[in-house]
Each structure stands twice: as structure tokens, then as C-alpha cells.
Amino acid sequence: MQIREAATIIRASLTMEQVVGVYLPAERIRRRFIPCPFHGEKVGSLKLYDDSFYCFGCHVGGDAVDFVGKLLALSPADAMRRINDDFALGLPLGESTMQQRLDAQRRGSELIRQREAIAEARRRRVEAYSELVDKWTRLAVQMRDNAPTDRDAPYPVAWVEAAKQIDQAAWELNGAELPEGM
Ligand SMILES: [Zn+2]
């Protein structure tokens, strides 16, 4: 199969955290950062994204194949073979039949579809959470701007309306899961 196809499937199959877990098993991942193995530091400057990495110290970045290749001093093709073996991905690297290529392609697009569905669900959670924050903020502002000033007058209608709803809004916000990355 083509090197480019294989790289796409590897990116879709493995997260960078899984890759680090296998090739740097002693490293503790803190909030997606690890100490960079490429410029020998103690602090964590290398950030792990789902399918790529980037070091803010030495500016090395790339995908899983780049990471393993650089870490183990392997060519991209050898890094792919190594990943293929270590994670038992079963990619037909090198000589392969048409059927093997089609199977691998299908598996690759299936994985990419799954990845996209997860990203979409995360996007919807962020949106729903932002809506709750907006609603609560709107009510809080409405209460502040219409706060009762005259003890003897009836409460302003706008204040009463907001006051009725704000507890419900706060309750919904407390119950909502804060999406990752917010
Ligand atoms: Zn670095």
C-alpha cells in the first residue's frame, strides 16, 4: 500500500498518547504535555494532540510516524513498519494484493469516520455548554440592570422575570459537564 495511505490510517488508528505510552512508557503525560525527548529537557514542552505533536521548545512536530522515526532513528517507511508491528495494525506495507489494499482503505475510512463523529459530539457539547453560560449571563445582566431601587414600589417586572428563571439556569449550568478544552 502507498506510504501516504498508511500514514493516514496510522494517524486515524492511534492517538499520540497511545504512541507515547508504548515508546516512552516511563513518561507521565501531564495535561497532554511531556518532556521533549528531542531536546533533552526536564520540563514538559512537547504537546500531544490527537494525531500530531509539537514541541514549543525546539519546534519539532509531526505525526506518529515522525515521532517514532525521530525517536528510534528510523526512516518513515521503517517507522511505519515498526508501528504496524507494535500495535498489530495489520497494514499491508510493501507488496500487497488489490484486496488487501481495498480492505485497508475501507478500515481507514471507517476509523476516520469514527474520529469525526467523536469530534462532532465534542463540538455539540461545547455549543450546548456555551448556550447555558449565555443564558445565565443574560439573566444575571437583566437582574443587575433592573435591580429594585425603591423599597415601596413593586419589584420591576424585568427583574422579577429574570429572578424566576435564574435559579433554573444556574442549576442547568451546574449539572452540565464542562467539555474538554473549555
Ligand atoms: Zn523539543
pLDDT tens-digit readout, 61-70 = 999 999 999 9
Mean pLDDT of 41-60: 93
So what's the pLDDT on residue 141?
A: 96
- pLDDT at 142 > cutoff 60: yes
Residues with CB under 5 A from ligand 1 (ion): 36, 38-39, 55, 57-58
- pLDDT at 177 > cutoff 80: no
Given the candidates 3.40.50.720, 3.90.580.10, 3.40.50.300, 3.30.70.1560, the CATH classification of the domain at 3-94 is 3.90.580.10
Length of the chain in terms of residues written: 182
Mean pLDDT of 141-157: 91
83 Cα to the center of ligand 1, angstroms? 22
Mean pLDDT of 76-97: 86
35 Cα to the center of ligand 1, angstroms? 8
Q: Quick one: which of 181, 27, 4 has its CA closest to 80?
A: 4
79 Cα to the center of ligand 1, angstroms? 19
42 Cα to the center of ligand 1, angstroms? 10
Mean pLDDT of 125-141: 93
115 Cα to the center of ligand 1, angstroms? 27
Mean pLDDT of 91-118: 78
What's the mean per-residue pLDDT of the chain? Answer: 88
182 Cα to the center of ligand 1, angstroms? 26
Q: Please report, to the nearest 10 degrees, the dihedral formed by the alpha carbons of residues 153, 156, 157, 160 taken in order.
A: -100
Q: Please report, to the nearest 10 degrees, the dihedral formed by the alpha carbons of residues 127, 131, 134, 138 taken in order.
A: 160
Phi-psi region of 97 (alpha: psi -120 to 50; beta: other; left: phi over 0): beta
36 Cα to the center of ligand 1, angstroms? 4
CA pair distance 27, 42, nearest whole angstrom: 11
CA pair distance 35, 163, nearest whole angstrom: 50
Mean pLDDT of 91-112: 77
Q: For residue 144, what pLDDT band results from cuts at 50, 70 and 90?
A: very high
93 Cα to the center of ligand 1, angstroms? 30
User: 6-46: per-residue pLDDT in tens?
Assistant: 888 999 889 999 999 999 988 889 989 999 999 988 889 99
Q: What is the DSSP string of the chain?
A: --HHHHHHHHHHH--HHHHHHHHSTTPPPBTTEEE-TTTT-SSEEEEE-SS-EEETTT--EE-HHHHHHHHHT--HHHHHHHHHHHTT-----SS--HHHHHHHHHHHHHHHHHHHHHHHHHHHHHHHHHHHHHHHHHHHHHHHHT----TTSPPPHHHHHHHHHHHHHHHHHHHS---TT-
So what's the pLDDT on residue 74?
A: 93
Q: 20-24, 83-87, 158-162, 172-176: which has the minimum mean pLDDT?
A: 172-176
User: 67-85: per-residue pLDDT in tens?
Assistant: 999 999 999 989 999 999 8
19 Cα to the center of ligand 1, angstroms? 17
Domain spans of the chain? 3-94, 124-175
